[in-house]
Structure 1
Amino acid sequence: MAKPQSAADLRKQIAEHQANLVRLGEAWGQQVVDALDDADRATIARLKSMLDDLSYRRNTAEGAEQLEAIRKKLEQIRLKAYRKAERKLREEASGLMANEVKWARRILLAFLGYRFLRGKTATPRSTSTDDAELADTWITEYATARIPDASSISAPASRKSGKSSSFDAETIFPEKIPDAISAAEQKRIVRNAVIQDKSWAGWWTHTADADVQRIAETVNQGINEGWSIDQITARVMGTRAGEFADGTLSTNRARVRNMARTICSGIANEAKDAFYRENSDVCIGVEWLDTLDGRTCRHCASLSRKRWKTDEPHPVPPVHPNCRCVLLPVTPVSDSADEQRPAAKADFMAEARRAYEKKHPGKKWEELAESTRKKYYYDAIHDYEKRTGGPAFELVSGGMSFKEYFETVMTEQQRKDWLGPERYKLYRKGLKFDDFISPWPLPGMTVKQLKALDLESFEK
C-alpha cells in the first residue's frame, strides 16, 4: 500500500499543476497561431493582388471606399481562421473544465483532512490526531487561520495553528462530493463568465477585430505615404533580416498567444471556483494564493492570502496576462497544521534583465521572446546559487502573505526591483507597503469626493 502523501507533496502538486496550466495555455496559443499561418499567406497574397489593381486617390470618398474594400477582404480571410481555431479550443475547454473540477475535488478533500493512497483510496483524518502526525498528513499549509465556522472566514493578520472543535471529518465521505459541475455551469462559464474584462466570445471578437485593424492601419499608412507594394507587404509580414518579428503579423501572433493563455487560465479557474461554490456545504470559502517572488504584480500582492465566503463576490484568476495565482478552498480544518512554502531570495527576473542588458547593450529586454526571457530567468537562478553557495529559495511560513514577505524577507535590492526606482524613493521616504497597492474591491467615488481630493492635492 502506498504511503499517504504529505503537505509538502500537496504544495508541490499545486505548483506543478499551475505550471502545467501555463504550458497548456502556450499550446492553445500555438494552435491559434497554426490556424493563422495559412491565413497569413492568404492575407499577403490577396493584399499584393489588391494593391496591384489599386488606383488610389488620396483624401477622396472614392479612396476611402477603396481602403474599406481592402479591409473587408482581409477581414474575411482573418475571421475564417479565427472561427476555425475558436471551434477547436471550445471543444478542448470542455475537457479542461472536467479535469479542473476533478483536480479541485482532490484538493478540497485534502483540505478536509483526507489522506490519499494512489489517488484512489481516501481515509478521513481524525480531529484528535496530534500535531506531530498532522505535519505528515496531506493538509494544506496555505491557509492562514483556524476557521471553526463560516462566520470567521476573514483571514487575520497573523497565522494561528490549532484544531477545529466544530468539525468532524468522519461525517464527510468522498463519494458524497461530486467530481463534476453541472452542465448549466459549464455552459455559463464558456458563454458568460468574465475572464479579466471579457467573456470567451468577447476575447475572440476583440482579438480578431484588433488583428484586422492593425493590418488595415499599416496598409492605409503605406498607401497614403506612397510606399511601394513590397514596402507595404514587408511592413505587414516583417523582414527576413528581422526574422519576421518586426511585422504587424508578428504583433498579432503575440496578442493571440496572450489571449490563449488568458482564456485557458480563466476557464480552468472559473471551473474550480464553480466547483467550490456548488460544494459550499463543506467548502466554506476560498483563499487567494500568490507566489512569493519579484514577478508577482502589485495587484496580486494586494490580494495575497485574502479570503471570501464562497457565496460572496470575489476575484477569480487570472487578473492579468500570465497570472500565476490560484484560489484554494477553505474548510473547517484548513488550518490544523503549519507548513512552509518557498520564497525567492532575489528578484531573478530583474537579475536576468540586468544580465541581458549588460551582455547586449542597446538591445531591449521587452523585445525578447517569452521563451528567451525564461531562459535568462533560470540562468539567473543558477548563477545566484553558484555565486552564494546557497539555495535560491528559502522556506517560510506557509501562511505568509506577500506583504509579510516584502517587509521581512525581501532584501533592499529586491524591494527596489519590485517597486521600481521612483516608488522605491517614496518607500525610503516613509511610505509603507499598503501605499503602493490598491484595495480590493476598489472603493466607489462621487464627484464631491473627487473634487475634495483634487483640492487637497493642489494644496500640498
Structure 2
Amino acid sequence: MATVNEQMQSASISHQVDLQQYSNAEVRKIMALLNRADADLAARLADAVARMDGQSFTVQYLERMLASVRELNAQTMASVAEQVTADMVALGQYELDYQDRLFTTVIPAPALAVAPLAGVTLAQVRQIAFSRPFQGKLLSEWLSDIEAARAARIRDAIRIGMTSGLTNDQIVRSIMGIRSEGYADGLLNRSRQDIESMVRTAIGHVSQGARDQFYAANDDLVASVKWLSTLDSKTSPDCRLRDGLRYSKDHKPVGHSVPWLAGPGRIHWQCRSTSTPIITLWEELGLTPEEIGEADRASMDGQVPESMSYGDWLKTQSAERQDEVLGPTRGKLFREGGLTLDRFYNDRGRYLDLDQLRERDARAFEKAGIAA
C-alpha cells in the first residue's frame, strides 16, 4: 500500500497536469475575447488611417485621429483584466478546496483528529492573487503595461507606415495580421504572446501561493515541502535542478544549498513546477500506537518518496487518464507505439503535431496499429 507521502506526491503530479490543462483553456478563453474585440479594432484602425492626411501628418494629429482606437484598446484590456481577475480568485479558492479534500482523503482520521485542518479565507486568496508580485510586478501592473504596449505598437506602426508610403490596407494589416493566419503575422501578436505568458504565469503564482498558504495554516501536519518539476524537454534548468529537493516549512533548503527563490510555479515565466507536502510523523503528532493502528502507522512513516518524472507518473495511470492528458492518438503511441514522452516534442520543446510525429516515428504508428 502506498504511504501517505507517496499518495500526496502522485496526487500533486496529477493535479499539476490538470492545472496545465486549465491554463490552456484559460489562454483560449482570453484569446477568443481578444479576437472578438480586435475585429472591431481593425475596423476603427482602418477608419482612422483612411481619414489621415499625409500632408498634415504630425504626432499631435496622429494622437487625435487615434483617440477612438486607444479607447477601444483600453476597453479591451479592461475586459481582459476583469476576466483574469475573476478567474484567478476562483482558481485560488479551488486550489484551497482541492488541498482540503486531498488532506482529508489521504491523511488517516486519527491524525486529523489530533490536528484538525485549518481553513484559509477568501480574503487571503485575494491577497495572494493581487497583493503579491510575480516576476517583479503585480497582476494589475502587468495588465496595465500590456495595454500601454499595445497602444504604443499601434501608434508606432502607423508612424512608420505613413512616413514609408505604405497603403492604408498595408498599415492595418501590419498591425492586425491576417485572421486566416490567426493574426500571428501582425505586430499585435507580440501582445498576444505577452498576455498568454502573463496568464500562464499568474496561474502558477496563484495556485502555488494558495498551496503555500494552506501548508502554513496546517503546519502541524506539514513537516516539510518537496519541489516537483515536470521533467520533459521543456523543463528549465532552474526547475530541473530543484526537482525532488526538500525545503522546510519556511522554504529553507533541507540537506542541500539550492535556494527556494520565488518557489515552484513562480521561479520563471510560465513555470510548471509545483510542490507536495511531506506529512509529519504520527509520533510527532503525539499519537500512541493504539490510537493510530498498525496500517496507518505504516502509511505515516515520514519517508520522502523517490522522485517521479512526469513520464514515469503517466505510465502508472489508466489508459483513459493517459488519453485525457495526451489525446487518444498520442496516448496509444505512448502505450503501444513505444514512444516516450520526450518524443512528442522537438528540440525546441515545441509540441509536435500528429503529421510531424508520423514523419519522425512512422514505425511507432505501425506498432500501435494507427492507420494513416
TM-score by shorter chain over 0.5 = yes
Match of 1:89 among 72, 76, 84: 84
Aligned to 1:328: 276
State the TM-score, normalized to the length of structure 1: 0.58
CA separation in 2, counterparts of 1:321 and 1:329? Answer: 24
Give the CA deviation at 1:260. 1.7
Give the CA deviation at 1:52. 1.5
Match of 2:114 among 172, 178, 184: 172
Q: Are 1:318 and 2:296 counterparts?
A: no
Aligned to 2:25: 27
Distance 1:33-1:64 versus aligned 2 partners, 3 A rule: same
What per-residue deviation string (whole Å, max 9, x for no partner) do you get for residues 399-421 of structure 1? xxxxxxxxxxxxxxxxxxxxxxx
Contact 1:222 1:232 in 2 (8 A): yes
SS at match of 1:88: helix
Distance 1:284-1:324 versus aligned 2 partners, 3 A rule: same
Aligned to 1:282: 221
CA separation in 2, counterparts of 1:224 and 1:12? Answer: 60
CA separation in 2, counterparts of 1:256 and 1:289? Answer: 26
Match of 1:99 among 94, 104, 128: 94
Contact 1:352 1:377 in 2 (8 A): no
Q: How does 1:12-51 map to 2 (within 5 A)?
A: 12-51=10-49
CA separation in 2, counterparts of 1:241 and 1:337? Answer: 51
What per-residue deviation string (whole Å, max 9, x for no partner) do you get for residues 269-296 of structure 1? 1111111122223324322211333321
Give the CA deviation at 1:79. 1.5
Please list every run of 5 or more consecutive structure 2 residues that lacks an aligned counterpart in the other structure: 253-259, 282-300, 313-338, 368-372
Identity among equivalent positions (%) equals 20
Distance 1:108-1:287 versus aligned 2 partners, 3 A rule: farther
Give the CA deviation at 1:341. 2.1
What per-residue deviation string (whole Å, max 9, x for no partner) do you get for residues 365-420 of structure 1? 79xxx7xx25369948x949949x9xxxxxxxxxxxxxxxxxxxxxxxxxxxxxxx
Contact 2:5 2:305 in 1 (8 A): no
CA separation in 2, counterparts of 1:378 and 1:6? Answer: 41
Contact 2:45 2:69 in 1 (8 A): yes
Aligned partner of 2:79: which letter? K
Contact 2:5 2:303 in 1 (8 A): no
- Which of 236-245 and 321-330 deviates more? 236-245
CA separation in 2, counterparts of 1:53 and 1:13? Answer: 59
Aligned to 2:72: 77
CA separation in 2, counterparts of 1:377 and 1:347? Answer: 17
State the TM-score, normalized to the length of structure 2: 0.71
Aligned to 1:160: none
Aligned partner of 1:66: which letter? Y
Match of 2:134 among 192, 195, 212: 195
Aligned-residue Cα RMSD (Å) equals 3.7
Aligned partner of 2:219: which letter? S
CA separation in 2, counterparts of 1:377 and 1:5? Answer: 42
CA separation in 1, counterparts of 2:112 and 2:270? Answer: 40
Aligned to 2:193: 254
CA separation in 2, counterparts of 1:240 and 1:268? Answer: 34
Distance 1:344-1:36 versus aligned 2 partners, 3 A rule: closer
CA separation in 2, counterparts of 1:26 and 1:241? Answer: 21
What per-residue deviation string (whole Å, max 9, x for no partner) do you get for residues 23-51 of structure 1? 22222222222222232122211111121
Give the CA deviation at 1:171. 6.1
Q: Are 1:341 and 2:281 counterparts?
A: no
Contact 1:25 1:262 in 2 (8 A): no
What per-residue deviation string (whole Å, max 9, x for no partner) do you get for residues 209-264 of structure 1? 22222222222221121111011011122236745421123333333222222212
Number of residues of Structure 1 aligned to a counterpart in Structure 2: 313
CA separation in 2, counterparts of 1:297 and 1:306? Answer: 15
Contact 2:226 2:246 in 1 (8 A): yes
CA separation in 2, counterparts of 1:310 and 1:384? Answer: 49
Contact 1:26 1:257 in 2 (8 A): no
CA separation in 2, counterparts of 1:103 and 1:343? Answer: 20
Contact 2:99 2:211 in 1 (8 A): yes
CA separation in 2, counterparts of 1:177 and 1:6? Answer: 16
Aligned to 2:178: 239
Q: How does 1:353-372 map to 2 (within 5 A)?
A: 353=346
Give the CA deviation at 1:5. 9.1
Please list every run of 5 or more consecutive structure 1 residues that lacks an aligned counterpart in the other structure: 116-122, 125-168, 355-364, 390-460
The structure with the largest helix share of the pair is 2
Aligned partner of 2:192: which letter? R
Give the CA deviation at 1:64. 1.3
